[in-house]
Structure 1
Amino acid sequence: MSRHSALRQSLLSVVVALALLPAAASAERLALTAARLVDVDSGTVRNNAVVVVDGERIVDVRSDGQVPADAKRIDLGDATLLPGLIDCHVHIDGQSGDFYTEAFRRSPIDNAVKAHIYARRTLLAGFTTVRNLGSAEFIDVALRNAIQRGEVQGPRILASGLAIGATGGHVDGGTGFSPYIRFEGFSGIADGVDAIRAKVRFDVKNGADVIKFMASAGVLSEEESVGEPQYSQEEMNALVDEAHRWHRKVAAHAHGTEAIKMAVRAGVDSIEHGSFLDDEAIALMKKHGTWLVGDIYNDDYILTEFARLKYPESMLEKERKVGRTQRESFQRAAKAGVKIAYGTDAGVYPHGDNAKQFVKMTEWGQTPMQALQAATVRAAELLGRNEQVGAIRNGLFADVVAVPGNPLQDIRVMEQVSFVMKGGKVEKGAGAAP
């Protein structure tokens, strides 16, 4: 045997020997302790809470205050532990600003450069999972992947890629401008059954976890109506059929009553906004098990800030028509027992302020516990991730947040998240890396 052959044989023996050794011990186990824990599965509060974390997962949940001998204790004192929060409707790669600056002086590259900042703000506000509904140039897919690789700090992202919509509709950024103006880049515009099916496939091909489309007109765009349907029933049916064929859930932007009903009949998984619900729409949503994701904090911010940001008066006038009616619709849906998941439309207002909606949800029909469940276990169910996130339960990812005091007595404390753990890593508060 030559010298080189002997060396290779020796190295191979070492590799084989190392492979046969027992796996290295996992990182030190952690035990989070606090005065209370909100058990969103049962809708109860447990005192003397202890959550034991091993690696990425929760391995024990206790109410006796006892910390296992092999676990490092992180004591959060007179705080309440909750599952990592979930926002089912964000635009994490953008932030609304001056309308004409956004349209003519910035590009998706500007959004991509800043997206990680918004992701970090969202995570540190306690939102460990988000669903991003509409993103230029697949920025949300790239951001999701970078977070998964550990390159930037942020929540788990379910990305939609391009929102799909009709020519001249809410997704068409060229509406209202000169027909000679052209916007370059990927487009979500698709008309007709075949083109819509192709656009769904294009989103899936490029990494979309969920499909988002515009069933109706909207507020912050230049087409005239707020809520008129912008696809035919046949087109909506085809879109949902194609998305479900690829095992993707469908979120329908829908303000107007008829558009909501059409989207529900088509089989969408969630109605976003749901501003003009009537009794028939509510009954249809209950019959089909369709979720409502109502962004009912947004109105406050838009009406106070968007005039300053130089948005067209036509958009502000549409918001004046929508705001209170949307909240009244939310209230009626909550009373009727429609399934509700938490979603804010963050990006229209500042990222990191996602928790401000809790107050509005309790003002407009939900109890504090129901609002907390909407942002945890219910949201996880909508996303199809309830075996991974959404509760403090054995086997789930160790996504845990803490707030001072008791949110069931004062829901505003949800805006004061003091501790954030995502997948067993402390991102904010005691034990976080400097």
Structure 2
Amino acid sequence: MIHLFKRFTGLFALLGLAGSVAAISTTPEVVFVHVGHLIEPATGAVQDNQLMRIENGRIHAVEPWHSPPDGTQVIDWSGKWVLPGLIDAHVHLADYLQTNDPAEPLKHSTEETAYLGARNARATLEAGFTSVHDVGSYRANGNIELRNAINRGDVLGPRINAVGGYITVPGGGGEVTGLPKGMKPLPEMRVGVARTPAEVTRKVNRMFALGADSIKLIATGAVLTEGTEPGQIELTGPMIAAAVKAATAHGSWVTSHAHGAAGIKLAILNGSRGIEHASLIDDAGIALAKARGTYLVMDIYNGDYIAEVGRRDGWSASILRKNDETTEAQRQGFTKAVRAGARVVFGTDAGVFPHGLQARQFSYMVRYGMTPLQAIQAATSTAAEFLGWGQDVGSLTPGHYADMIALDANPLEDVTTLEHVGHVIKGGVVVR
């Protein structure tokens, strides 16, 4: 898939993206925004009637409103509630949507999947998510090339921290399984398959050679992978430690898909920066995560979507069973983690459900123990820290990228207003 987006750049006009690319190239160097109510998530402070000065895509100053110089561009958000662009720390942009067919990933060409990724990226950005952690695509460099295309201005989408493909054991939670007899996954879908710590090291180095920003391990079985069980450990402690060591050598870090309580603790003890899902986390795992400063990325909306759509569309009985066994347990674990003061990050697993609907999770986070401010922090300042991007995103203070959203109502009072983002700016450019 390398250079795929470059070869097909001209065709993105057919998707209605050409106008957006033109807008990016003609952005003025200085833009002012008249902000009605500015929310700073880290503190919860609200400043009314502010003037924000944006220079070359970053916030230069925020001060009480006064008329900017004549002839400059002023964006009027004087009646809006404004906060940093949202961050979803668990998405799968560069793949086809989950269906009832285990062979679905094999039924779409590299080219088609690239177009789907472009569409998914745009939907995500227009929903107010200006940064994401793309935690894996079956074609190992799919999310990497999508990130590159966005960064070049070929397509419209969020800032992406891309992991490339999954580091997984043969037949494990990161594999395409349950295929009809005689059908095998493509080689580019197995780039991260490893059996030993030495192989893990080689595979991690391979992901960075492809251009990965961070690494995703499949430490336990998966809900949506046939033939695996969420509570089953798949990567050993030495394999996880090898991945962490290799990633550290590249100046990066590792996050681990881990549903089961034992797998969660194993990943934390061996240096994983984050735990994805954490569905069956126990009290000891929560205490360990808090003590080690490990981030918990818990997709507590996703289970309802799987239960509803999966039953409607005939997803396999084993997937529905595993979803039922983990959904409520994950939500109870989420509540305990919040109460314990663990670092909980907003991440949705978008790609299982349609991209652009991620904000539905905010109301679940409030229902299961967070205040609206805590839920917003999970998707801004805390998520930025998790990605190592705290100096660039997650805040609207000077020096940060001018990534921001505008709402008609106060999300600190009603978090569901985040499901209806009216306006989006990324890097000083109006997206909608």
TM-score normalised by structure 2 residue count: 0.90
CA contact (8 A) 2:41 2:380 kept: yes
CA contact (8 A) 2:172 2:228 kept: no
Q: 2:114 aligns with which of 112, 115, 120?
A: 112
Q: Mean alpha-carbon deviation: is it higher for 49-58 or for 196-205?
A: 49-58
Query: Residue 65 of structure 1 aligns with which residue?
Result: 65
Change (3 A) 1:327 1:72: same
Q: Quote the offset at 1:28 in angstroms.
A: 5.4
**Residue correspondence of structure 1 range 199-278 to structure 2 within 5 A:** 199-278=203-282
Q: 2:292 aligns with which of 264, 267, 288?
A: 288
CA contact (8 A) 1:88 1:293 kept: yes
Change (3 A) 1:98 1:400: same
Aligned equivalents of 1:111, 1:310: Cα separation in 2:
24
Query: Residue 324 of structure 1 aligns with which residue?
Result: 328
Aligned equivalents of 1:312, 1:282: Cα separation in 2:
31
Q: Mean alpha-carbon deviation: is it higher for 39-48 or for 100-109?
A: 100-109
Task: Determine which structure has more spread, i.e. the larger CA radius of gyration.
Answer: 1
1:396 aligns with 2:396: no
Give 2:164's aligned amino acid: G
Aligned equivalents of 1:412, 1:174: Cα separation in 2:
37
1:86 aligns with 2:87: yes
CA contact (8 A) 1:176 1:223 kept: no
Aligned equivalents of 1:405, 1:303: Cα separation in 2:
31
Give 2:390's aligned amino acid: N
Query: Residue 147 of structure 1 aligns with which residue?
Result: 150
Q: Quote the offset at 1:29 in angstroms.
A: 2.5
Could you give the per-residue CA deviations for residues 105-131 of structure 1, whole angstroms, max 9, x where no partner exists?
Answer: 334443222110000000000111111
Query: Residue 135 of structure 1 aligns with which residue?
Result: 137
Give 1:54's aligned amino acid: E
- After superposing on structure 2, the runs of 4+ consecutive aligned residues of structure 1 that deviate more than 6 Å are none
Structure 1 residue matching 2:359: 3-state secondary structure: helix
Q: 1:313 aligns with which of 317, 320, 344?
A: 317
Could you give the per-residue CA deviations for residues 12-60 of structure 1, whole angstroms, max 9, x where no partner exists?
Answer: xxxxxxxxxxxxxx93522212321111232222211322212211011
1:371 aligns with 2:375: yes
1:412 aligns with 2:426: no
1:165 aligns with 2:168: yes
**Residue correspondence of structure 1 range 343-354 to structure 2 within 5 A:** 343-354=347-358
CA contact (8 A) 2:102 2:179 kept: no
Query: Residue 337 of structure 2 aligns with which residue?
Result: 333
**Residue correspondence of structure 1 range 168-207 to structure 2 within 5 A:** 168-175=171-178, 178=181, 180-186=182-188, 187=190, 188-207=192-211
Aligned equivalents of 1:225, 1:109: Cα separation in 2:
32
Give 1:120's aligned amino acid: R
Query: Residue 387 of structure 1 aligns with which residue?
Result: 391
Query: Residue 32 of structure 1 aligns with which residue?
Result: 33
* Aligned-residue RMSD, C-alpha: 1.6
Aligned equivalents of 2:135, 2:107: Cα separation in 1:
23
Could you give the per-residue CA deviations for residues 268-288 of structure 1, whole angstroms, max 9, x where no partner exists?
Answer: 110000111111111111111
CA contact (8 A) 1:108 1:136 kept: no
Aligned equivalents of 2:323, 2:241: Cα separation in 1:
29
Q: Quote the offset at 1:96 in angstroms.
A: 1.5
Structure 1 residue matching 2:108: 3-state secondary structure: coil
CA contact (8 A) 1:291 1:339 kept: yes
Change (3 A) 1:28 1:147: closer
Change (3 A) 1:167 1:112: same
Percent of aligned positions that are identical: 38
CA contact (8 A) 1:33 1:65 kept: yes
Aligned equivalents of 2:392, 2:281: Cα separation in 1:
32
Structure 2 residue matching 1:354: 3-state secondary structure: coil
Listed as ranges, the gaps of 5+ residues in structure 2 are 1-26
Aligned equivalents of 1:123, 1:225: Cα separation in 2:
33
